């Protein structure tokens, strides 16, 4: 599961994991002690926030590789290879160089997902969802940062070819809270086994 902050990927990952009786792998956002300072102050906490996520994701992948890879379906609310997207967006050139050296030394062998679901939504929609969610960090997310982030995601997935990709227009649907929207999306996920696909549904609530 992928998409910008506030688009709904974690909540949807939880719902899919429940439907599929799958193991759930979540980004350790609440555990990152630098994240609120990053959203509040920007540059001063960018590097420690990024490094926390890098090490956290590396530990999760290592733990997963040490277990039976074929024991269960796994649903994750992040794609490891997009870690660099945030590094390039948030770090200055010297910090990025340090990040790259550490990431290379970690030699993380992340598995390629059977399917990546990329939730796309407009910045206006994401801002509205962040306001409803109203967590401590969300209050400090600025519109300008979200605009840069959504553009970076669009570039990243324009070039993504590691495996099957389902791009979902999530601006007009709410698969987390609307059962009919969720069923539409779930049926599409079941049908998507390869290639690049676009899912642009109309909300069942609007139909």
Per-residue pLDDT tens over the stretch 23-71 = 999 999 989 999 989 988 877 899 999 999 999 999 998 888 777 655 6
CATH number reported for the structural domain that contains residue 155 in this entry: 3.40.50.300
Encode pLDDT of 77-89 as tens digits. 999 989 999 999 9
Mean pLDDT throughout 112-136? 90
Let me know: does 93 contact 142? Beta carbons within 8 Å: no
Q: Strands (DSSP E) along 34-188, which ranges?
A: 74-76, 116-120, 165-169
Number of other residues whose CB lies within 10 A of the CB of residue 168? 25
Count of domains forming the chain: 1
What domain range is 152 assigned to?
A: 9-199
In a domain, 194, yes or no: yes
In a domain, 147, yes or no: yes
pLDDT greater at residue 134 or residue 8 = 8
Contacts of residue 203, Cβ cutoff 8 Å, sequence gap at least 6: 172, 173, 174, 178, 181
Let me know: does 14 contact 24? Beta carbons within 8 Å: yes
**Which residues on adjacent β-strands are paired with residue 61?**
none
In a domain, 3, yes or no: no
- The pLDDT of residue 203 is 55
- The pLDDT of residue 206 is 47
């Amino acid at each position: 599961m992928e998409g910008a902050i506030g688009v709904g990927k974690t909540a949807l990952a939880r719902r899919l994991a429940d439907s599929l009786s799958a193991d759930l792998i979540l980004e350790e956002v609440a555990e990152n002690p630098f994240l609120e300072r990053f959203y509040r102050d920007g540059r001063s906490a960018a590097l420690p926030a990024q490094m926390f996520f890098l090490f956290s994701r590396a530990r999760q992948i290592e733990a997963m590789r040490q277990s039976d890879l074929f024991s269960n379906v796994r649903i994750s609310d992040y794609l490891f290879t997009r870690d660099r997207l945030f590094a390039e967006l948030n770090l200055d050139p010297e910090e990025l160089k340090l990040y790259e050296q550490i990431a290379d030394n970690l030699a993380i062998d992340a598995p390629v997902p059977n399917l990546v679901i990329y939730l796309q939504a407009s910045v206006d929609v994401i801002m509205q969802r962040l306001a409803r969610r109203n967590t401590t960090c969300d209050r400090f997310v600025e519109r300008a940062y979200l605009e840069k982030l959504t553009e970076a995601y669009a570039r990243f997935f324009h070039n993504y070819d590691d495996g099957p990709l389902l791009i979902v227009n999530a601006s007009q649907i709410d698969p987390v809270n609307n059962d009919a929207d969720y069923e539409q999306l779930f049926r599409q996920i079941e049908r998507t086994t390869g290639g690049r696909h676009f899912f642009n549904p109309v909300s069942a609530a609007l139909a």
